[in-house]
Structure 1
Amino acid sequence: VVDICTGDLGSPAYRKYDLEAWMPGRGKWGEITSTSNCTDYQSRRLNIRFKDPQTGSNRFVHMLNGTAVAVSRTLIALIENGQRADGSIRLPSCLGIPDIPAPGV
């Protein structure tokens, strides 16, 4: 998890976190998803409010903005990190998917 510095944030973001995975083919870490805390920046423009139960006043909601998962980059990380010498691919057991056999098997 990478806490992105404020100089690299877009206008709406108050704080942003990237989740990265090791990509052996690139020889470096690569972003597979990111999430930004946009506080009330977007809700003011969209006029999205809630009624505060303690004060009874309408207030702007705080919003998160994020990508679910960059599928292609996630697959690259899984395949490259799980590939064996014979070409088969071992996937993390938590995915509940059996290993992928080597081509031609």
Structure 2
Amino acid sequence: VPFPAEEAAFDFALLRAAGGAQRVLVAATERRTVERALTVLQEVRVRPASITIAAHDLVVLLERRPRAERAVWIHRVGDVADVLMLDGNALVASRSIAVPDASALVAEVRGSL
């Protein structure tokens, strides 16, 4: 994680075992990200069942660009990419896709535009 471990909030989920090996999904984010979401919910007296921190929340990192511009946000790990289509600061589409190589990713993005 790109921040000190003591500032991390994390959780895990056991996934379906494959071939005798146990798979585990681990998610981590800065603790303050979770605390902000919890504060908002507490103010309106809502108790969350869960909190999801996803790539969709990273749109705020693009605030420096003009609001009228369109952008594609891609987060690729291995053979899977999360692709977000933005119109200004509005998320208009998102999906996770299998991308074995860079040319497949380019083809998927071009097909989405």
Q: How high is the TM-score relative to the length of structure 1? A: 0.23
Greater share of residues in strand = 2
Q: Which has the larger radius of gyration?
A: 1
Greater share of residues in helix = 2
Q: Indicate the structure whose relative CO is greater, using CA pairs within 8 Å and at least 6 residues apart.
A: 1
